[in-house]
Chains A and B, each alone.
Chain A
């Protein structure tokens, strides 16, 4: 789905749009990330200080570390970081930590029970974000919409509160967990 190079669908004579339009990629040589004492990511870029920068993924599911949009608190884009790996390790760690704080989506490692009740499906799960795994209950409404198969093996689930859970590999789950989940996957 996500092509790395556009092929014959584009008219050969026409320049690629991505070459014709300046996306405002971050000039990493002029960017310096740091942490404020208040716990926010700060950016000094081309002589301007941005004391609170949000790092937003353009393709959070498909390319979590590419096309990262850096924005000020008003949502105004400062620049696009084309690829996280283009930063040096120290700077990269700061941005990675910020992504980790912004996108919270623990992995489901066990499905302990499933209860289908009154239009809601209740999952008792063991899930793991950063840190040790923990048990939790979550309720999912409208399973058709809120449990999505990203591929044959990769599942994302949204509960009624707006929490997200991911199963990076269904095959890696225990047979029991998979069986409990099975009716809700499609």
Chain B
């Protein structure tokens, strides 16, 4: 490739335009409007190419050293990602003087139809093959082949016994009752056969259902396991594209939908399908003309139900939405009941809920009424065949063209034939739900780990120096968070990272932990490129405390042990003592056995942080990362913890982020980040003398604390 193109769609008055922004190997940016060049300028004249996102639209513009900024192109949000890539290529050329076009990633498009894939989706919704999807789904059932086969065989046997009853009935009537030839013994025998067929059929049916239920439970368990295992292995980048709720839905709900479809519905489909076909064949063989009559309403009823389906679907969807809205209001208000009361807004809330609830009731009533009308109507119409058969069959009997037994047999079979039709009402919805769940499930299963743990991955040399070499990174490619960041941390150093919110401090640490890989540049640990280091080993050997500490439901002891499952009680207590947590733990009746987490003992923010610190230091790690780890602590507790941390291994490399600058007073050096770039590096004293950003931050904090004291 020797150029990069960006199509854009809007002119400066936001009217549609066929525009193209071209950057070529000669380093020239050209704007084309409707195929004609409108502007050309060399990229080297500019300082930077940037994307500016607005509301529902965005633009690309150039900044210059000594000239005003200049808009190049405007477009709707669909081109945002591509614009980010375009700017990256141009900026690289501005910085290095050499255009490189290989790195540009086009947004993912469907290979077949060329449409851009929706964010986070790998399957094109327009081109995917339903057959392929279900083929894959059946493949998931493979481990349960034996159970399914057994169950299906039982089911076929029980169906065969069921259909034998009407046939026996016909024989009884035609051969023994109608001609009045049968003896009591013969009638008894046939009736006995019918009874046995029923009894054995039911028994086998129960067996089949039991085997199937077991297979179904095992299957959904298996699906949950594979989905959960895959999620655990995904990188932070892949996880970041999905909300926790979405992932939980994948594991808990989609697996059930898939299971229900493949086992319950699959079974139903086979059962009713088999009965339908067998019944039709027997009827056809017995009297094909009458069989045609039975079948006559089938297409009509089928079509009517298909039409009704849309209406039913819309109505139930609306009911579902109203219901979920009422629930979410309820959830919200009960969670915030303290706030409601403190504003004296109880009456307003009662009124609000009553309104939503009334709405829901109205929709539900209307839906129930419709069902109450529709269902008997459908049953009635699908039963019309019965009247036909009785009328025509009755006339044929009177005319001597048909025997009474055959007619009875026909009416008995009608149920088997019309049953599957009623089921058509819900089937399309179930099918659509199952397809959606399947695609989402396969999406998770197919997700390639962005950060691969290969056999080649090296152990993490956490005792070595950390070196950032012109690292750039953005969670979204068009929004770089870190830009060309470079610095070295010597082993044993304590480094403080400071900067305003959004300056990129936490991102710097996320890269250090290899939760993400840099877009460009590299990070080395003890001389090894972090990309070659096993993330698992790195996480095992480094200690980390985040600001939003997460403690699992369980005892305090279990939570500390999470970091080092083989730690002795002495180690656990020592870690808590060093984190200044021992004292408060011992105040509770159960000490280290106190249950914490959702249903347990509630801890204050500071207490949680101290436990998190204890958890991080129990391994006595050589590399300790503290991301606002002491922000919820008062100054006194913080300094006690700081001292005990300092007294542990002196050879530890520590990287700490803190808003409260006094936290970092022990740091050897401070790195000041500003808008993703390194603004200053130096010791506290050096940076104060420099009177730059750090100086301003320190002064501002002193001012605040002074005001607070006053």
Contacts and interface: CB of A to CB of B under 8 A. Distances in A.
Interface of A: 36-40, 51-52, 60, 97, 100-105, 116-120, 122, 129-132, 134, 137, 139, 141, 144, 159-164, 182-183, 186
A118 B435 contact: yes
B539 to A, nearest CB: 33
Interface in B8-67: 10, 12-16, 54-57, 61, 67
Nearest to A185: B318
A105 B78 contact: no
Contacts, number: 112
Contacts of B321: 144, 186
A160 B119 contact: yes
B68 A120 contact: no
Given A144-B324, A162-B56, A183 B68 contact: no
Contacts of B69: 36, 38, 40, 51-52
A160 B55 contact: no
A118 B125 contact: yes
Given A100-B14, A163-B77, A183-B314, A36 B55 contact: no
A94 B684 CA distance: 48
Contacts of B57: 101-102, 104
B483 interface: no
Interface in B120-158: 121, 123, 125-126, 128
B453 interface: no
Nearest to B77: A162
6 contacts: A38-B68, A60-B55, A103-B56, A118-B439, A120-B118, A163-B77
B708 interface: no
Q: Which 5 A-B pairs have the closest CB atoms?
A: A131-B15, A104-B57, A39-B71, A38-B70, A162-B77
A97 B118 contact: no
B3 interface: no
B13 A130 contact: yes
Nearest to A38: B70
A116 B436 CA distance: 10
Contacts of B15: 129-132
Contact of B14 (A39, A117, A131, A141): A131
Interface in B84-138: 115, 118-119, 121, 123, 125-126, 128
A163 B14 contact: no
B230 interface: no
Contacts of A163: 56, 76-78
B54 A120 contact: no
Given A38-B61, A104-B54, A161 B76 contact: yes
A104 B76 contact: yes
Given A38-B70, A131-B15, A183-B317, 13 more contacts: A37-B68, A38-B68, A40-B69, A52-B69, A101-B74, A103-B54, A117-B125, A117-B126, A130-B15, A132-B15, A137-B115, A161-B80, A163-B77
Contact of A119 (B61, B115, B128, B440): B440
Interface of B: 10, 12-16, 54-57, 61, 67-71, 74, 76-78, 80, 115, 118-119, 121, 123, 125-126, 128, 313-314, 317-318, 321-322, 324-325, 432, 435-436, 439-440
Nearest to B13: A130
Contacts of A183: 313-314, 317-318
A139 B117 CA distance: 10
A104 B14 contact: yes
Contact of B318 (A51, A100, A119, A186): A186
A186 to B, nearest CB: 5
A159 B118 CA distance: 10
Nearest to B322: A186
B70 A100 contact: no
B54 A131 contact: no
A90 B314 CA distance: 50
Contact of B71 (A38, A102, A105, A182): A38
Contact of A122 (B10, B74, B125, B317): B125
A6 to B, nearest CB: 15
A99 to B, nearest CB: 10
Nearest to A116: B432
B366 to A, nearest CB: 14
Contacts of B322: 186
A98 to B, nearest CB: 10
Contacts of A101: 12-14, 54, 57, 74
Nearest to B115: A137
B70 A39 contact: yes
A104 B16 CA distance: 12
A162 B80 contact: yes
Given A101-B54, A103-B55, A40 B13 contact: no
A122 to B, nearest CB: 7
A40 to B, nearest CB: 6
B125 A105 contact: no
Interface centre among A118, A119, A139 (most CB of B within 10 A): A118
Contact of A97 (B13, B54, B68, B439): B13
A101 B435 CA distance: 41
A159 B69 CA distance: 30
A149 to B, nearest CB: 11
Nearest to A39: B71
B410 to A, nearest CB: 41
A58 to B, nearest CB: 13
A32 B13 CA distance: 21
Nearest to B314: A183
Identify which of B10, B56, B78 gathers the most chain A CB atoms within 10 Å of its CB.
B56
Nearest to A132: B16
Contacts of A117: 125-126
B119 A104 contact: no
B8 to A, nearest CB: 13
